[in-house]
Chain A
Amino acid sequence: MMEILTTEWALRALAASIMVGLMCGVLGCFIVLRNMSLLGDALSHAILPGIFVAFVLFGYSTIAFFVGSALAGLVAALIISWIQQNVQTKNDAAIGIIFTAMFSLGVMGISWLNQSQGAHLDLKDFLFGNVLGVSNEDLILSGFVLVYTMLSIALLYRYLFITTFQPKIAEAMGISVKTIHYYLMLLLSFVVVASLRTVGVILVVAMLITPAATALLLSPKLKNVLVISGIIGMLSALFGFLLAYAFETTPGPAMCIVATGFYFLAALLAPKTGLISRQWVRRKESRRILAEDIIRFIDKSPGDEVSTVSIFSNISVPNYKLKAVLKSLINANLLIKSERNIALSETGIIKANNLQRAHRLWETYQHNTMGIDPELVHWEADKQEHHLDDELLGEVERKLGYPKADPHGSPIPKKK
Chain B
Amino acid sequence: MNEQKVIDVKSLSVSFGNKRVLTNINLDIFQGNSYGVIGPNGAGKSTLFKAILNLIDYDMGSITVWDQDIENVRKKIAYVPQKDEVDWNFPATVKDIVLMGRYPFKKILERMNAEDHKMAEEAMIQLDILDLKDRQIGKLSGGQQQRVFLARALAQKADLYFLDEPFVGVDIATEERIIKTINQLADEGKTLLVVHHDLSTVSDYFDKVILLNQRLIAYGNTEDAFTDKNISFAYGGQLTILNKLGVTKK
Binding site for B on A (CB under 8 A): 33, 155-156, 158-159, 161-162, 164-166, 168-169, 171-175, 216, 219-222, 224-225
B87, CB-defined interface residue at 8 Å: yes
With A155-B108, A174-B74: A169-B91 Cβ-Cβ less than 8 Å:
no
Instruction: Tell me how far the C-beta of B79 lies from the nearest C-beta in chain A, rounded to whole angstroms.
Output: 4
A271 to chain B, nearest CB (A): 13
Cβ–Cβ contact B104 & A173, under 8 A? yes
Q: Does B103 belong to the interface (CB within 8 Å)? A: yes
List 5 additional contacts besides A168-B50, A168-B81, A172-B55; criterion CB under 8 Å. A168-B79, A221-B91, A221-B92, A222-B92, A224-B91
Q: Tell me the smallest distance from the CB of B120 to a CB of chain A, in Å.
A: 13
Min C-beta distance of A121 to chain B, whole Å: 41
B96 lies within 8 A of chain A by Cβ? yes
A172 and B74 contact, Cβ closer than 8 Å, known pairs A158-B103, A162-B100: yes
- Main SS of the interface on chain B? mixed
**Which 4 A-B pairs give the minimum distances between C-beta atoms?**
A220-B136, A174-B74, A172-B79, A173-B104
| A395 CB, nearest partner CB in chain B, Å | 12
Q: From known contacts A158-B106, A172-B55, A173-B74, infer whether A220 and B79 are also in contact, taking CB-CB under 8 Å.
A: no
B53 within 8 A of A: yes
Max chain B Cβ within 10 angstroms of own Cβ: one of A166, A172, A174, A219: A172
CB neighbors of A among B61-98 (8 A)? 71, 74-75, 77, 79, 81, 85-87, 90-93, 96-97
What's the Cα separation between A174 and B109 when bound, in Å?
A: 17
CB nearest neighbor in A for B137: A220
Contact-size category for B:
20 to 34
Q: List 20 A-B contacts (CB under 8 A).
A: A158-B100, A161-B92, A164-B90, A166-B85, A168-B50, A171-B53, A172-B74, A172-B79, A173-B75, A173-B104, A174-B104, A216-B91, A220-B136, A220-B139, A221-B92, A221-B93, A221-B96, A222-B91, A222-B92, A222-B96
- Judge whether B100 and A169 touch: CB under 8 Å: yes
Contact with A along B172-195 (1 / 0, CB 8 A): 000000000000000000000000
What CA separation (Å) do A165 and B100 show in the bound complex?
A: 11
Query: Within 8 Å CB of A166, what residues of B?
Result: 81, 85-86
Question: What distance in Å separates the Cβ of A76 from its nearest Cβ neighbour in chain B?
Answer: 26
Which of B75, B77, B85, B106 is the one whose CB lies under 8 Å from A168?
B85
**Chain A proximity of B47: nearest CB distance (Å):** 13
- Assembled-state Cα–Cα distance A225/B96 (Å): 14
**Nearest CB in chain B: distance from A278 CB, A:** 15
Residue of A nearest to B100 (CB): A162
Do A220 and B93 form a contact, CB below 8 Å, given A172-B77, A173-B74, A174-B71? yes
| B71 neighbours in A (Cβ, 8 Å) | 174
Cα distance, A212 to B39, chains bound together (Å): 43
Closest to A175 in B: B103
A222 and B100 alpha carbons, distance in the complex (Å): 14
In Å, the complex CA distance between A169 and B101 comes to: 10
In the docked arrangement, what's the CA distance between A33 and B53, Å?
A: 25
Alpha-carbon gap, A164 to B100, bound state (A): 13
Complex: A159 Cα to B90 Cα, angstroms: 15
CA–CA, A164 and B86, complex, Å: 11
Q: How far is the CB of B134 from chain A (nearest CB, A)?
A: 8
A166 to B55, CA, bound (A): 13
User: A219's closest neighbor in chain B, by CB?
Assistant: B91
Please indicate the chain B residues that have their CB under 8 angstroms from the CB of A162 in the complex.
Answer: 100, 103
Cα–Cα distance between A87 and B176 once the two chains are bound (Å) = 47
Q: State the CA gap A174–B100 with chains docked (Å).
A: 13
Q: How far is the CA of A172 from the CA of B49 in the complex (A)?
A: 11
| A136, B15: Cα distance in complex, Å | 57
B146 to chain A, nearest CB (A): 14
For residue A215, which residue of chain B has the nearest CB? B91
Given that A155-B108, A174-B74 are contacting pairs, would A165 and B92 also be in contact in the complex, using a CB cutoff of 8 Å?
yes
Which residue from chain A places its CB closest to the CB of B101 in the assembled complex? A173
**Across-interface contacts of B109 in A (CB, < 8 A):** 155
The residue on A at minimum CB distance from B87 is A165
Note all chain A residues with C-beta closer than 8 A to B136.
220-221
- In the complex, how many angstroms separate the beta carbon of A272 from the nearest chain B beta carbon? 10
For B90, give the chain A residue with the smallest CB separation. A165
Candidate in A156, A159, A171, A175 with the most chain B CB atoms within 10 angstroms: A171
Given contacts A155-B108, A172-B53, contact A161 B74 (CB under 8 A): no
